[in-house]
Structure 1
Amino acid sequence: MQSKNKTVVRSMDILNLFLTHSKLSFNEMVLFSGIPKTSVYRMVISLEEMGFLDKDKDGKYSLGLLFLQFGHLVAERLDIRQIALPIMQKLHHEVGEAVNLIVQDGKEAIYIEKLDTKQPVRLYTAIGRRSPLYAGACSRVILAFLPHDEREQYLEQIELKPIASGTITDKERLRLLLEETQRSGYTVSHSELENYSSAIAAPIFNYNGQVIAGISIAGLDVNYQQEALPQLVEKVKHAAFEISQNFGYIQN
């Protein structure tokens, strides 16, 4: 940690504010970051000059076009995204719900691709957004299929914090759900990341049988009542299996 350049770390703290805010004024960046005003000023000027930040006519800042260029490069180089996208599009056409692709990043999951729902509904999901591995179907399905020791270490260390009304905050209940997910090959969430939304997720495996991603459909919880689940579950599981096959996975 001591080897990290302080200015670089603080600059990242400024840029990270834009993960949850589309635009910010200079004073808002000072307020939200807790960094002294003079330091923020110097960093913002430098970030703007390098193309990392843009300022509009009202004096509000947003992420610069340079991030869009970098984002496209990263997305294009993620093989799993390229392989999964046609199958995600097919699933999206069949169910009309949002379709998400998530990979693990440390103790979190990150959305690397999504197709929006055809309904006017706000969902937690967005490309680049993160969620804890314990919350939400697509994140939790990855957690369920991690090696036992890795999963248990995570469960022992993590604090289960509520995010929405349905977030699971009891570790024993979570363990039972993870075991059920291993047996069934899918998981369902209701209001875990966003109230009144639901999701169904299945794991994606590589040729070694290791979980490398999760795929889910998500939308309004009224579309995920008990009678609708069997057909939706099969479609999600089939899509996950198709993607897994492209990575050499053979089901035992």
Structure 2
Amino acid sequence: MNQSVMKALNLLNFFTVETPELTLREIASKAGIPKPTAYRLLTSLESGDFLYKTKETEHDSKYRLGLKLLELGQIVADQLEVRTIAFPYMQQLAQEINEVIHLVIVNQNEATYIEKVDSSRALRLNTRVGKSSPLYAGSGPKMLLANMPQDQQRDILAADTLYRNNQPINKQQLLEQLEKIRENRYAYSVGEQDADTTGISYPVYDYRDKVIAALAVSGLSSHFEEENLEWIKEKSKQTAEAISRKLGYRGPDF
């Protein structure tokens, strides 16, 4: 990581419950750097709302932690909460349908898998906790992309050519898929991340009725046919709704 960025971020560590406010002089002293250098780093943090200046005089300035840290902290808290709440429901669903269950979230314009429960079948999928993938590849990522604000969605799809499995994607068809996902409230994919596999995903809502994750079920395509497909869809939908209700969702039934 860029050394200037690291130096700036390290300054945040000097703020504690006991010392929520620090002067420029105090920060420079704690960091062991000249005041002009400290001031430059603090100004960068201030411009990003990581700090705000409470007082400024000719000889010194005072700083407190900014609201951007509260915003980021809430995002982390929400992610931890949904993972903790979802996990036992995912385990129960895996026992019932014996397929691989994932929990997927948006992370820096990509889809990141934050939880996984395996099936007892000998099935190897190209997924793991912490893995990221494009938001237009797989049922879980597409569920998240479909429920993004349109401006953010446009930014992600702005490239002239999008690729999935090294093949170009028809962007118009993708946009039509996303519209259908929003209408049907579930996503379906075949072979988009792993050959001969099918994925089905349902949205996970929070107390603001906002989609914050996707519950994704994956397995061999031969298991996702006819009556078994409808059974998997119903069980997955019920599980996603149960998780959402636990998170405070008060919207209509799935």
TM-score band by shorter chain is 0.5 to 0.7
Partner of 2:214: 214
Are 1:198 and 1:220, in contact at CA under 8 Å, matched by a contact in 2?
A: yes
Alpha-carbon separation, structure 1, partners of 2:160 and 2:238 = 31
Which 5+ residue runs of structure 2 have no aligned equivalent?
A: 7-75
Q: Verify the 8 A CA contact 1:205 1:211 in the aligned structure 2.
A: yes
TM-score (norm 2): 0.66
Q: Identify the residue that residue 2 of structure 2 maps to in structure 1.
A: 4
Deviation at residue 227 of structure 1 after TM alignment: 4.1
* CA distance 1:93–1:220, shift in 2 (3 Å): same
Q: TM-score, normalised by structure 1?
A: 0.66
Percent identity, aligned pairs only? 34
Q: Which runs of 4+ in 1 moved over 4 A?
A: none
Instruction: Supply the distance in 2 between the matched residues of 1:122 and 1:153 (Cα, whole angstroms).
Output: 33
Give per-residue Cα distances to partners, 1:157-212, cap 9 Å, x unaligned. Answer: 47421227xx7711111111111111111011110001111111011111112111
Residues 97-116 of structure 1: matches in 2 within 5 Å?
Answer: 97-116=99-118
Structure 1 contact 144–181 (Cα < 8 Å) conserved: yes
The structure with the largest strand share of the pair is 2
**1:238–1:150 distance in 2 versus 1, CA, 3 Å:** same
Q: In structure 2, do the counterparts of structure 1 residues 92 and 168 end up closer, same or farther at CA, with 3 Å as the change threshold?
A: farther
Q: Which runs of 5+ in 1 are unaligned?
A: 9-73
Q: Is the 8 A contact 2:161 2:168 kept in 1?
A: no
Structure 2 vs 1, CA of residues 198 and 144 (structure 1 numbering), >3 Å: closer, same or farther? same
Alignment partner of 1:122 is 2:124: yes
- What count of residue pairs does the alignment treat as equivalent? 183
Conserved in 1, the CA contact under 8 Å of 2:113 and 2:127? yes
Taking the aligned partners of 2:2 and 2:185, their CA distance within structure 1 comes to 41
Aligned to 2:201: 201
Supply the RMSD in Å over aligned alpha carbons.
2.6
Residue of structure 2 equivalent to 1:185: 185
Q: For residues 183 and 86 of structure 2, what CA distance do their matches in structure 1 show?
A: 24
- Aligned partner of 1:137 in structure 2 is 139
Q: Give the whole-Å Cα distance in 2 for the aligned partners of 1:177 and 1:118.
A: 31
